[in-house]
Structures are given as C-alpha cells and as structure tokens.
Amino acid sequence: MTMIGFPPEIADRWSLTNWQNAPYNRWSFQHMREVVPTARVGRGTDAARPLQFAPGFDEQQIVWRLDGTSSTVAEVIADTYTDGFLVMHHGRVVLEQYPYGTSPDHAHMMMSVSKSVVGCVVGILADQGVIDPAAPVHRYIPELAKSGYRGATVRDVLDMRSGVTFSEEYLNDDAEVRLLEQVIGWAPRTHPGLPSSMYDYLATLSASRAHGIAFDYRSCETDILGWVCERASGVRMADLLSLLIWSRIGAEQDMDAAVDPAGAVFHDGGLAATLRDLGRFGQLLLDGGRLNGNQVVPAWWIADAYAGAPDSREVFAASGNDTWMPGGMYRNQFWLPYQGRDVLLCLGIHGQLIWVEPARHLVVVKLSSWPHPQMVAKLLDTFAAIDMIGFQLSLG
C-alpha cells in the first residue's frame, strides 16, 4: 500500500533510506521526479512517432527457466516484478503490458539503461568532431589530470576500461556506487567528508591499474562521459539529450533526468522515460540510428558497438562476467550478450532492459522493480523469455 492515501500512513511512505528497496521501489521507480530533483528532457514540438499495433502474440509459449522448471512467457513477465513490458516486431507493437498500473504516459526509472543513451550522446558528439574518443578525458576536464583518470581516454571510459577504482557492489553501503548516491542526494549522508557534487566527487577517485586494459563495469565511467559531453559542448546534458536524441526519435513524452545539487544530470542511472518512448529509442537503434531520413545516432557508432574492439571479448571473459553472460562483451555503453548473434542490450539494476536484435526485427523493453538490485535468475529467465518471443515471431 506504498504511498496510498492523503496522506499515506507513515510506514507506507518512501524515504531517502528506503525508496530503492521493496516494497517502496515499485512506487518510487514510477515516480522518480517526486522523490528527487529532476531536469526536463524535452520531447520537442513535433508530433510523436505513431505506433502501429499488431496484437495476437501468444504469451502461453513454454520457456525453460534457470531453475529447471518450465513456464510460459506470461508467467516470466508476472514473476519478474514487471512494471512495463513492450515487444515490437518489424516496428509494430505486438505486446504492451503494464501489470502494476504504470500508464503509457508515465516515466519509469531506467537506471543504467541511461548509460546507453548517454553513450549515444557521446557518439553523436564524436561524429560532429566535438569529442575525440582517442583523447584523454583530462583534455576536456583539466581537474581530472590530478585524479586517477589522468591519461584515461574517452574510449577507455566508453568501454569501462579505465584503471580507476570504484566498487559497484550495490549491497555494500560503503561501496563507491553507494557513496556517489549520498553525494547526489539519493541517500542520507552518512559520510560527512563527501564532496558536495558528483563532479567534485569524481575528481577524487584514484586509479589502481593501468588504463585501457581490464573491463570493469563501473558507473563512474558514464558520469565521466557525461561530464566530457558538457565540457566539450558547453551545453547541459539535459539539453544535449533533448536536442540530439529525445526531440528526434518521435518521443511522446518528455524524459526526466535526475540532477545533483550542482545541476549535473546523474548520467549513469538518473533517466526516466515511458515504456513506449524507450521502445522508440530501441527501434531507432535497430534501424541503424535513422528515423525519417535523419541520421540521429551515427550508424558507425552502432556498428562499432556490435563489432567491439579486437580484445573486447577477451577482456570480458577475463572480468568474470561470463558467469552470468557467457560469451558477452561490452562496448560503447552497450552490453553484447552473445557471440555470433547481434543483440544490443541496455541493462539497468532492478530489472530495466532494452533488447535490440536486428536479425529478428525485434525490440523488447522491460521495466521492473525487482526487490534487489541484481537478480541473475530473474535476468536470465527474462533473456529466455525474450529468446522464445523472438523465435516465435520469426516463425510467422
């Protein structure tokens, strides 16, 4: 009964301590802007890209789940704390569900799906010559020359391969990923010595190994990218997102972008958008970055993500991530879950996902409120269900 009533019972209200935990996160993920300050990412003034609907998809197909049981696609959706589920095939919506009351015009937290969107901003700015991926990040942000980021290139950061130390252990309150939340105001401050803004904090990080070698998924890398975009362009990220992407994909609704006390977008996880608009973004990626004759995201950016660097697969395997994504790799702020099969994947904690698979003309978006940040069984069951969906659609 979270947040029901005028006012809700005190025990049923979100707080900065509980809002990302169950059961409160079901409400807060659908109301991010009511919890934290946000900037508006405008959809522009053009008409929304119309969605065509082609219902009739059979959700009763059997899928095998990670625990060895069999189930249906519908049961996987029901069992994985789904707030929104969208399947587009050949650009048409074949399935659209809001099991927990999110409406089609309601923005939902994207968590680290945000990373892939910010990555596209980098790609566009690189295409325009505003950012050089080969340049060190401290060329754009001189403050970083005194930090662990000294010498790391934009490319290193794009592929999560700088040597900077930053723990992504979500269940450890002392991990940098959680301290950063205190810095930006997403959690109560228990560490009084923390800097007052995200950028100030990023400049305090140190390195523990050489840049450009190992793959290590760290949210700070995306925040560095966002900072580079703002410094290189002189434009705030909320405006970059609007001008370069959100106003050009036919979005129905504005996007919300959480901001820190110094006005910086929380690039690595602070965006919230509607299920349908995330479907439009996925469709744009599937279509090589083009819409209505406009090259919104550079085709080479997407192609480069599928291809990876020569050693992308090797460093991924060495990172230990093969335990849950065997054969995967990471490039340009996208996950590539399969070898020999082009799937572009945007992933966020608590079950956020965009799946783009050109060969099957398939885009899937899932928005969720898993009770825990990382739940491998929920994720892999979702992958299995998406595989079945794609297979079934490719038959007919």
- Provide the binding-site residues for a copy of itself, judged by CB under 8 A: 3, 6-8, 10, 13-15, 31, 33-40, 42, 45, 105, 107, 196-200, 227, 230-231, 236, 254, 259, 261-264
C-beta separation of 246 from 192 below 8 A: no
Count Cβ atoms below 10 Å from residue 129 Cβ, excluding itself.
7
Q: How far is the CB of 360 from a copy of itself (least distance, A)?
A: 31
Q: How far is the CB of 220 from a copy of itself (least distance, A)?
A: 15
Q: Which of residues 87 and 107 has its CB atom nearest to a copy of itself in the complex?
A: 107
Q: Which of residues 41 and 297 has its CB atom nearest to a copy of itself in the complex?
A: 41
Distances (CA, A) of 110 to 31, 175, 258, 350, 369: 12, 21, 11, 9, 11
Distances (CA, A) of 287 to 209, 281, 292: 38, 10, 10
Kindly state the greatest CA–CA separation across the chain: 60
Which single residue is written with the structure tokens 């070698």?
213
CA 284 from centroid of its chain's CA atoms? 15
Q: How far is the CB of 263 from a copy of itself (least distance, A)?
A: 5
Q: How far is the CB of 365 from a copy of itself (least distance, A)?
A: 20
Distance CA 35, CA 311 (A): 41
Distance CA 362, CA 386 (A): 9
Q: Which of residues 165 and 197 has its CB atom nearest to a copy of itself in the complex?
A: 197
Count Cβ atoms below 10 Å from residue 147 Cβ, excluding itself.
19
**Active-site residue, from 112, 233, 242, 369:** 112
At a CB cut-off of 8 Å and minimum separation 6, what does 324 contact? 376, 379, 380
3-state percent breakdown (helix, strand, coil) of the chain, nearest 5: 35, 15, 45
User: Is residue 112 among the annotated active site residues?
Assistant: yes
Q: How far is the CB of 396 from a copy of itself (least distance, A)?
A: 32
Q: Which of residues 35 and 137 has its CB atom nearest to a copy of itself in the complex?
A: 35
> Which amino acids are annotated catalytic?
112
